[in-house]
């Protein structure tokens, strides 16, 4: 089995909000499975004791590298900037 990830597919960058109000940012190629893992306490160590979580933001990318770059960029944002990103995302969804 190849150790390199598939470079072209569907990748997601997401932000989840934990019960204590903190945000966690990650990327995956299967958003539903990853959110389910986080909700059950599996996946990221950071989220083990912070459930329940809720998906606050998600954006799809076609290329692995673009998703990885976006995740790194989001992780560098301040809390206020992340909240603004989430607000804009929610407003966009409500318009659809």
Residue 2 CB contacts under 8 Å (≥ 6 apart), including other chains: none
Domains of the chain (ranges, CATH numbers) = 8-95 (3.40.1440.10)
Per-residue pLDDT of the chain (96 residues; tens, 9 = 90+): 456 655 668 999 999 999 999 999 999 999 999 999 888 877 777 777 777 889 999 999 999 999 999 999 999 999 999 999 999 998 888 776
Give per-residue pLDDT as tens, 80-94.
Answer: 999 999 999 988 887
DSSP secondary structure code for residue 27 in this structure: E
């Amino acid at each position: 089995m190849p150790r390199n990830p598939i470079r072209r597919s569907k990748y997601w960058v997401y932000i989840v909000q934990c019960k204590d109000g903190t945000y966690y940012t990650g990327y995956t190629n299967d958003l539903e499975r990853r959110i389910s893992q986080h909700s059950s306490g599996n996946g990221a160590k950071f989220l083990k004791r912070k459930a329940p979580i809720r998906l606050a933001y998600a954006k799809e990318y076609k290329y692995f590298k673009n998703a990885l770059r976006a995740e790194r960029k989001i992780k560098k944002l301040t809390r206020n900037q992340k909240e603004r990103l989430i607000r804009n995302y929610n407003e966009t969804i409500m318009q659809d």
